[in-house]
Amino acid sequence: MTQRLRMRIAGMTCTDCEHHVTVALEGAGATDVRASFRRGEALLTAPAGIETEALTAAVAAAGYRPGATEPVEDPAPPRAARTGPRGRGAFDLAIIGSGGAAFSAAIHARDAGAHVVMIERGTIGGTCVNIGCVPSKTLLRAGDIHHSAGHHPFAGLATQAGPVQMGRLTAQKDQLVGELRQHKYEDLIDDYGWELIRGEAAFVDARTLQVGERRIQAKAFVLATGARPAVPDIPGLAEAGYLTSTTALALDHVPESVAVIGSGYIALELGQLLRRLGARVTLLQRSPSLLKSYDPEIGEAMTGVLADEGIERITGVRYLRVDGGRDGRRVHLDVAGTARTVESAEILVATGRQPNTEALHLDRVGVRIDARAAIPVDGELRTHIPHILAAGDVTAGPQFVYVAAYEGGLAADNALGAHRQADLRVVPAVTFTSPAIATVGLTEAAARAAGYDVKASVLPLSAVPRALVNRDTRGVFKLVADAGSDQVLGAHIVAENAGDAIYAATLAVKFHLTVADLTETMVPYLTMAEGLKLAAQTFGRDVNKLSCCAG
C-alpha cells in the first residue's frame, strides 16, 4: 500500500532546486515525486506507514527547509517529460491565448500534472509584453527624462533637451520587448512542457476545437484571448485614418499635433507622452470632468497637471464626423450646441478595449457574451458551460495584467476540479502619468452609497516632505475611512511614485487596517509613502504643525 503526500518545502528557487529535492526524496524511498519551487512544495508517493522524519531529513540534508507533511488526493497524472514527442489525444486543459492569463493558467495546470495545450493565433505573450505595459512604460520613462531635461525646478543646473529621434527610441523599445517575450514567455513553454499550437481556434462542439486542419479535444477549456483597442463609430474616422495604443507605440517620428479621442488612462498616458516628446496634444472627452469615476480631488489635480504641460482639453463633446487624410485630419465636434473643429496631424483613439471573442464561435456551445462582447463568468470564472472558463481581459472584469494572471491561475485550478472563488474586492489601479495616479478601494461617494458613515482626509502634496525636496508639489493624497470603526476603506493618490505607495494602502484596505494602524506605524522619512501616514494623521490634527518625522 502507498500513500500520496504533500510536503511543504522552503528554500527552493529554481528548477535545479526541484531536481535536488526530487533526488533526495527518491533516495529516502519516495516515488513519483513532483517538486515545485513556485508552490514551495513537493508531491510524492510513499509506502504506507513510512516515517516522515526520514523524508524531512533527506530534504534538510539536501540544503532545504522541510515543513509540514500531509496526505493529499492527487488524481492528476505526473507531469509529462519536457522533451520528446507530445501526445495528440484528448488534453486535460486547452488554453486559448498566450498572454498573462493564459501563461498563468498553463503553469498552474502543469504544476498539477495536467496534459495542457495552448493555442495562439498571433504573437506569443499577449498584450502586456508586446503592445501594452512593457512598451508603453519604457517609452513613458523616456518621455519623463526628455521632459525633465528641458523643464526642471533646480537652480544652478543647465540642462537641455535636444531633438527626439523617435525611430531609435522605438527600436530600443522593440529590443526590450523581444528579450522579455523570449525569457518570460517563449522559454517557459519548454520549461514546463505544454504543447503550443499556432492558429485560430474555434469551437466545433463543447469538447472540441478546430485549429486549422487539426481538431483538439479537451476535458476543460480556459478562454484567455484578451482584448484589442475599441474604435468608436464616428463617421469618416476609418477613412481618415487613426492611431491606437498599439500603433502609437510603433511610431518612427513624433507627430506635429495629435487629437486624442478619449480621456481614460490610455489617453492620459499616451497624450502626455506625445506632448513631452514634442507634439501639440488636444484631449477630447464626452464627460464634463476628468476621471469622473475617481474622487473629484484626483481629477482636479490631474486637470492642473495637464494644463501646466500645455495639453488642451475640450470637454462635453459630441463627435459629428472626421475628415482628412495624409495631410492632416479634422475632427468636427458639437460642444454644448456650438460647432467646433479640431485640426491635427494625427488622431489617437483611446476609448477603451474590445474583448476578442468573435472568432471563437461561442454560439456553437452556448457560451454567452454581453453587449460589449465580453464573456460573463461566475465566481469560479466559469461561463454558462461549467467546463469552459474565461480569464483576463476577455471577461468583464478589471483589465490589468496582474488581475489576468491571478484569474488565469484560478481558472486552471477550477478547470481541474477545484472550486475556488475569485476575490476582486481589493484591486489597485495605477495610471503611469507624471505624476502618477494610483487608487485602491472605495471612493468617498462609493463608500457613502455602500452605507458607510464616511470620513475623509485630503492632503495636498505640498504637505509631503518628499514632494518638497523634489520641488514638485502637484498632487494629492486622499484617504476614505469608516467613521465608526476607523477602518480604511480607500486610498487615492496623485504623486510621483504613487504606484509604489499604493501597495501599502492595498494591504491596509485588504486586511481592514484602521487609520490608527497607519498613524502608529513608522514610515521611512522622505519617501512618497509617508504621504499615507500624513493623510491618516490629518484626520486628527494639522500636519503642518508637526516636526519632521513626528508621530
Angle at 385 between CA 205 and CA 396, to 5 degrees: 115
Q: Is 548 a catalytic residue?
A: yes
- Joined together, the cell numbers standing for residue 341 give 473643429
Q: Is 452 a catalytic residue?
A: no
Give the amino acid at 530.
Answer: E
Cβ atoms of 229 and 260 within 8 Å: the answer is no
End-to-end Cα distance, the chain: 63
Q: Taking the CB of residue 211, how many other CB atoms lie within 10 A of it?
A: 19
Q: Is 17 a catalytic residue?
A: yes
Q: Is 503 a catalytic residue?
A: no
Q: Is 64 a catalytic residue?
A: yes
Q: Which of 1, 7, 64, 319 is catalytic?
A: 64
Cβ atoms of 266 and 439 within 8 Å: the answer is no
Q: Are strands 208-211 and 214-223 parallel, antiparallel or unpaired?
A: antiparallel
Q: Is 406 a catalytic residue?
A: no
- Joined together, the cell numbers standing for residue 94 give 486547452
Location of C-alpha cell 501526445: 87
Burial of 51 (0-12, 13-18, 19+ CB in 10 A): exposed
Burial of 89 (0-12, 13-18, 19+ CB in 10 A): exposed
Q: Is 14 a catalytic residue?
A: yes
Q: Which of 7, 118, 128, 302 is catalytic?
A: 128
CA distance 265 to 67: 45
Classify the C-alpha dihedral 240-241-245-248 as positive or negative: negative
Cβ atoms of 393 and 127 within 8 Å: the answer is yes
Mapped onto helix, strand or coil, the DSSP state of residue 185 is: helix
Q: What DSSP line would sit under 300-320, residue for residue?
A: HHHHHHHHHTT-EEE-SEEEE
Q: What DSSP line would sit under 19-37, residue for residue?
A: HHHHHHHHHTT-EEEEEET
3-state DSSP helix/strand/coil percent for the chain, to nearest 5? 35, 25, 40
Q: Which of 7, 17, 118, 302 is catalytic?
A: 17
Q: Which sequence positions are flagged as catalytic?
A: 12, 14, 17, 64, 128, 133, 548-549
